[in-house]
Structure 1
Amino acid sequence: MCGVLRIRRDLVDAIVAHARRDHPDEACGVIAGPEGSDRPERFIPMLNAARSPTFYEFDSGDLLKLYREMDANGEVPVVIYHSHTATEAYPSRTDISLAQEPDAHYVLVSTRDPHEHEFRSYRIVDGVVTEESVEILESYMFAHTGRDDTPDA
């Protein structure tokens, strides 16, 4: 494993809730964040246009609207997520072939067990899948506020 997805607990809970709600169909969506930050912030559940338990597809009109909205807000898709309803949370050949965002974290949630879920994150670049660790945070803490806190002389 290399890399790490740092994500707030409320966003993880929102992804899992969406996956459970759409089960037995696969759920899908995006978490947008400020460009260049690698910080997932805005949860955007999407409709699985395929309405399938084995495949997901973003509605092309919804996806176009989402990308225009993110561009206007200076955001990028930091996390692209979907669920697997009957298999482990690992990208399928189809998932790998559809991965078009080399900087995104591809999160998969397995809802095959009704009492537990599997939550995993990957980078998918040029067909190569690399699992990364997931660090679930209560909130994002900033090491530097950007303010000058030195007292006036």
Structure 2
Amino acid sequence: MLTIERALVNKIIEHARADHPDEACGIVAGPEGSDRPTRFISMTNAQRSPTYHDFDSKEWLQVDREMDANDEEMIVHYHSHTSTEAYPSRTDIGYLRSSLADPRVHRLIVSTRDPHEAEVRSYRMVDGEVVEEELVIVESYA
């Protein structure tokens, strides 16, 4: 289950809408050892593609060092789908099954195919299978 503040979800949706028709991507970091995402970090989609995303490598290195210095880690990896539902594509699933994907990270997908309503869902890889998890959006963690 992913519990996340509404303000963070709103920022993810805003980023996805701003980058449409290209996929948007980024992370939400939080304290190491926690499952509480707290810091929104929008990333540049180096592919600038409506069907694929990839973090800019220089930007990712900077963000990774910043998280390390702040004792943070990636809690959520988000990206958008511009013309399909908020469900992992074959490319997404291939990445999730690779050795590069951290199984502890929540994979949040927002669909911007409807210009008036965003569909937001979260997934994790469990025993080699993509599993949708409960997404709980709260006003505040307090």
Q: TM-score when scaled to structure 2?
A: 0.93
Residue 127 of structure 1 deviates from its aligned partner by 4.2
| Corresponding residue for residue 72 of structure 1 | 69
How far is 1:66 from its partner? Answer: 1.2
Amino acid of the residue matched to residue 79 of structure 2?
Answer: H
- C-alpha spacing 1:77/1:85, structure 2 compared with 1 (3 Å): same
What is the rounded CA distance, in whole Å, between the counterparts of 1:63 and 1:97 in structure 2?
A: 21
1:127–1:61 distance in 2 versus 1, CA, 3 Å: farther
Partners of 1:96 and 1:127 within 8 A in 2: no
Instruction: Give the Cα–Cα distance (whole angstroms) in 2 for the partners of residues 26 and 40 of structure 1.
Output: 21
8 Å CA contact 1:48–1:57 kept in 2: the answer is yes
The corresponding residue for 1:109 is: 110
Q: Which 10-residue stretch deviates more, 94-103 or 42-51?
A: 94-103
1:122–1:130 Cα contact (<8 Å) kept = yes
Determine the C-alpha separation between the residues in 1 that align with 2:77 and 2:133. 14
Separation in 2 of the partners of 1:125 and 1:67?
25
Change in Cα spacing, 1:22 to 1:123, as seen in structure 2 (3 Å) is: same
Q: Does structure 2 conserve the Cα–Cα contact (< 8 Å) formed by 1:34 and 1:75?
A: yes
1:92 equivalent to 2:93? Answer: no
Q: Which amino acid aligns with 2:43?
A: M
C-alpha contact 1:32 1:76 (8 A) present in aligned 2 = yes
| Cα contact 1:32–1:41 (8 A) shared by 2 | yes
1:25 aligned partner, one-letter code: D
Unaligned runs of 5+ in 2: none
Runs (4 or more) in structure 1 with deviation over 4 Å come to: none
1:36-90 CA-partner distances (Å, limit 9, x unpaired): 1100000000000000000001011111111111111111100000000000001
Residues 26-45 of structure 1 aligned to structure 2 (within 5 Å): 26-45=23-42
Give the CA deviation at 1:125. Answer: 4.8
Residues 128-139 of structure 1 correspond to what in structure 2 (within 5 A)? 128-139=129-140
Q: Which residue of 2 aligns with 1:149?
A: none
Question: How many aligned residue pairs are there?
Answer: 138
Q: Which moved more, 1:125-134 or 1:28-37?
A: 125-134
- What code does the residue aligned with 2:94 have? S
CA deviation after TM superposition for structure 1 residue 126, in Å: 6.3
Aligned-partner Cα distance in 2 for 1:92–1:20: 19
CA RMSD of aligned residues (A): 1.1
